[in-house]
Structures are given as structure tokens and as C-alpha cells.
Chains A and B, each alone.
Chain A
């Protein structure tokens, strides 16, 4: 996205509203908003959308596995669902844990079940998944989108969708059981920049329970290299039970708390994106709020299994 061609200049740079253009034909909206109106129309006959998301496959998962885990296994409890905006783009920022993290699916399900106006949630994933056979087919079908800044911007700004991001990224899923509920570094604040550029709301949220659902005791560097996976965790069931071991979670009680949203327009919106100090401050603040709430939730919890 960075380097721009100077020679083949575009509308927005040169001559967008050139002298020969008739003033009446100029719409009032800004070019970027005008571009939003040019998004492809939805073709109702299609079962997939342009991101490769499949309502059918998602529905199958939703009614079986996800339903079972959400209702009976993790017995998810949700707080502050009203903090998820009903319209407009919003970036949900969460803590992350677990070998094959169940948190994303539970957050998406929580919005579907509890929100007054449920919307699909897009989950940003590592580029790794697009290159690994099997994952490459499945991940986009259930709402995974590669964590490319351009993808996040299109989802938030142009399509006004809900996007979930784990700023800890791999560092979050790699962390071991002994480090549970200790947030890792939040990258370089790229997620704040993305939300500001898209003038989308930032919604921090905390998940308690995922750390105990699939405790990771160790990481095997050798096996990671041999299998080509992004990491190779040792859990109570993996790799002993094979790939199925990845899906065997302990029945920890899940709590999801959505915190009050941050309006990036008030922070200065797209113009303030280059203010690195501001971006870092917001990123730190979100991290601190999530950490604080996690501590509070863990402190209040009487039992890992029964809440």
C-alpha cells in the first residue's frame, strides 16, 4: 500500500474534479465515501461472499460444534453486549489464548446469540492459514480473513463490518499455562491505526476461561519445523490424540465481557493516524483496560469450572 505510482496518477490525486468537469455532476460526498457505493452488489443466488465466507458451512458449524461448546461445554456468559455497535464498522480487540483457540468462535457466537442486532464477525488470522492445505479451504469459509491492513480497512471502512483482532497474535496462542491471563505485547499498535484510518469504533473485550479450556504446557520447536505449522503445542490431548486432540477442550466456564467502545473519530480520526505517540497511547490504554478487567474477572471467579 505504501509506495505509490507517481506517473500513472489517479483520480484522487490529479484532476479528480478537473476544470472541464461540469460542477453539477459533482456529488457532495468525499471520494472515499463515493467509492463505498461502488462496492459489488450482493448476488443473492450465491452461497459465498467475496471474502470466501460460506453461510452454509458456517451454519453447519454454528448449529453443531459451536452450539454445543457455547451452551453446554463452556456455558458462556456475556456481559456488556450493548457495547458492540449495531451498525458501522467496529474493531473488537480481545485477549487470546489456547492452542487452537476457541475464543474467536465463542465471541462470534455471543454476538449472534445475545446482540439485539446480530451481525457476522470477521476474524483476522495469520497469513499462514492461507498457505496451509486444509486450513486454506476452511478458514475463509467460516469468516477468517488474513490480517492484512488493506483487508481490515476494507471490512471496517467500506463494508462497515465487525472485525475481531487479537493484537497479541501468535504470542498469545504460544504462551504457556503458567503465563495465563498475562497479556503479551500489543504489537506496534497496527490495530489502532487500522481503526483510526477507517474511523471505526474500537471495542476492547476480555475472555476468561479459554486459558483453562486448553492449557498449553510446552511448545515443540522440532515438531513445529517438521509439520510446517505455525506452532506445535503440547496440551493434555495434543498431539497424543492426533488432530482431534486439538478440538478437545476442558469444560472451563467462559465469561466474555465487552468493554466500553472507544470512538476513533474523537481521537482525531483518519488524520491523526500518523501521530505515532497517540497510536501507542491508545494501544497501551486498551491493553491496560483489558488486563485490569481480566484480573477483576479472575479474582471474582470462585471456580475455574463452575464460574
Chain B
């Protein structure tokens, strides 16, 4: 590995607020943070109940009303806020709900961290490479300094741009707060559910006739580690997060051991996506251009501040392939966790509970805190 300008470690991250605790990323991140002893407190907020089993994270059921979050932030003396709420798939929420969550929600969270007397000194925002869009005249590799060349086409892309604008505005007004924006490429992995994992799970993977886009992926574990890295280092600024290597879609399909089906016509793709929808696969609007023009990211800046990827794009696809073949064999895995408030409170606060701190598993176990 090359010697790089490693970002200085940040030992002051002690009390963390994770927003969107009940999303996949919020849950995964909170689980991972529980493994770091220097983190004194992890508070998670969301309007729904968590779906990941958590040991010491405290859950507060609250909407993104900023007055309530502000009270939590101040009462718990939160020093680090990690915002994982962003919705990047237009299928999981209506445009209105997505906007409410992505833009209004972000503004509220930022407002809750505002004020000169606020204890917050670090804000980490999980964003998306959708920030750059996907167009015909794009560069082959987007760097963090390139703004979107064209205005957003879909509501989700607009949300991402608006949310980032709000975050950038916050960073400007609060120079004493380290603001990190991580723009993630399309994520693949055995657990996460994205439009791409759904598409790759189909027996025949649809392609647009005459196009073979270049795509880059991030593995789900790398996403969690990237958020951790930002939490425990001083890395202000925006960074792309995507595994090494840009794959052609046909290459990725080959790695999965699947067949490509160039079913979508190059003109009027949106209309012909209808029959596919009947087959159980909806192509979200923000993916249509991606299936045509693709997107490549320059991922070097985050490596330069010391982040080490666990997977290349190719390895992420291969892992997904393994999972897709294994999944029918081991279906019905431990995904049936249900949050029970009384039980969780007993486990956290009863003096009779004996905690065995060494028995941690999951992300934390395979990932040492970096030199802290």
C-alpha cells in the first residue's frame, strides 16, 4: 500500500447521534459503533422502530422535528452527528415523502445542530453519487470538485442536490464544525436491498439495447467502514466512496454468472419498462440514464485520507453472486428481529444484566479501529 497523507485521528468522537437508525445504514452503523470503546454514547433517532439488534444504542422515536432533536443533542451533549437517512431509491417512497425526508429532514437535522452553543463539532452526511447524475457528456471519472454538468432529471436526484446544498451551506456558516459528505456509488452486498441488487437477482438481467454502461459499485461493508472512518478521523470535505474498478454492465452480469437480456429499446425506454414492471421488476427513473450512460467515480481522495477499501467493484459483484446462489438454500435467515421497548430497556438499564463485552460480532470484529 502506498504511503498517504493520512487524516489525523479524531479521538474526540465520544457521543454520537445516528439519524435514520431504522434504515439499513443507520442500524448497521450503530452496530458497528457499539464496538468502539471510546464511543461513550450512541443515540439513534428515527420515526420507525429499529430493525437491527442493538446492544447499547439508545433509540428515541422521534420525527425529524428539529426542536425535539435539538433538545436531544443538547441534553446528551452530542459531539458527532451522522446522518444516514437519505433515500436514494424512488421505489421505496413517493416523491413527496422522499422530498420530505431528504430535503426538509436534512434541513431540520442541520437546524438542530446549529447555534453557537451547540455541542456538535462534527457532522457526517451520507450522500450519493447521484449528486453527479448520469449523462452523455459526462467525464469518465467524476472527481469531488466537479459539479453536476446538467440540472437534475428526477426528483430523487434533485433531492440529493438540494440536501447537499443545505449541508454545504451549514459547513460554510459553521466553520468550527467538521462537515464530511460521503458520496456513495451504487451499493451491493448480501444484506442491502437496492435497485441494483434487485436487478441482479433477476434470472435475466435487462440491458438497454446497444448500450453497455460503465458502472462502479461499493460493497455494503465498505459503506459502513467509510462512515466509521469519517467518525474517527478529521476529514472535512466531500468524498466519493466507490470500490476500485469500473465495470461494464455486461462484465458485471458475467461475473454474476447470469445472462444479459438487452430487452429495453434504446428509444422510449421508459414506456417499455412497463412489461418488466409486470414481471416484478420496476426500474426506478433515476436508473434509466444509468443503464445507458453509466457513471465512474474518482475514488482516490478518500484513499488519500487513509481509508482502505475492503472490496473492489468486481469483488463486490462476486460477493453478491455468491449470495444470490446461496440465498435459496439458506432462506429465512435471522432477519426477524423485532424491537420491543421494554426488553431493550431492561437489557440496557437493569443492574442484573451482565454484559459480556467481548462477544461482539458483525462489522466491528473484522475491522480494527484505526490507530486510536
Contact = CB atoms under 8 A, between A and B. Distances in A.
Interface stretch (A45-53, A174-182, A244-252, A255-263): A45-53
Interface stretch (B90-98, B136-144, B280-288, B333-341): B136-144
Interface in B213-247: 214, 236-238, 244-247
Contacts of B138: 146, 148
B140 A151 contact: yes
B301 interface: yes
A148 B140 contact: yes
Given A5-B168, A145-B140, A50 B4 contact: no
B181 A52 contact: no
Contacts of A241: none
Given A10-B237, A48-B247, A146-B137, A136 B211 contact: yes
Contacts of B137: 127, 130, 146, 148
A11 B304 contact: yes
Interface string A1-37: 1011111111100111110110001110001001101
Nearest to A47: B251
B171 interface: yes
B interface: dominant SS: loop
Contacts of B300: 35, 38-39
B314 A43 contact: yes
A51 B298 CA distance: 12
A146 B251 CA distance: 20
B145 A7 contact: no
B238 A46 contact: no
A9 B236 contact: yes
A140 interface: yes
Contact of A52 (B246, B266, B299, B305): B246
Contacts of A141: 212
A230 interface: no
B3 A27 contact: yes
Contact of B211 (A6, A39, A137): A137
A148 B5 contact: no
Interface string B128-169: 000000001111110111110000000000000000000111
Contact of A43 (B145, B237, B245, B298): B245
B60 interface: no
B303 interface: yes
A89 to B, nearest CB: 16
Size range of the interface on B?
Answer: 35 or more
B46 to A, nearest CB: 26
Contacts of B147: 3, 5
B179 A34 contact: no
Contacts of B212: 52, 136-137, 140-141
Residue of A127, A137, A140 with highest tally of chain B CB at under 10 A: A137
Interface in B5-25: 5-6, 8
B317 to A, nearest CB: 11
B237 A154 contact: no
Contacts, number: 145
Interface in A136-159: 136-137, 140-141, 145-146, 148, 150-151, 154
Interface string A39-65: 111010111101110000000000000
Contacts of A11: 5, 237, 301, 304-305
A57 B146 CA distance: 32
A25 B214 contact: no
B209 A133 contact: yes
A25 B6 contact: yes
Contacts of A243: none
A131 interface: yes
Interface of B: 2-6, 8, 136-141, 143-147, 167-169, 171-172, 179, 181, 208-212, 214, 236-238, 244-248, 251, 266, 292-293, 296, 298-301, 303-305, 312, 314
18 contacts: A4-B145, A5-B147, A8-B236, A10-B144, A10-B237, A21-B5, A27-B5, A34-B304, A37-B2, A43-B312, A48-B251, A50-B245, A51-B246, A134-B210, A135-B210, A151-B141, A154-B140, A154-B298
Given A21-B8, A131-B293, A150-B146, 14 more contacts: A1-B143, A1-B145, A5-B238, A7-B169, A10-B301, A21-B5, A25-B6, A38-B303, A46-B245, A46-B314, A130-B137, A134-B210, A146-B140, A148-B137
Q: Which 9 A-B residue pairings sit nearest by Cβ, starting from the closest?
A: A133-B210, A40-B244, A7-B172, A133-B266, A150-B139, A131-B136, A38-B300, A127-B137, A37-B2
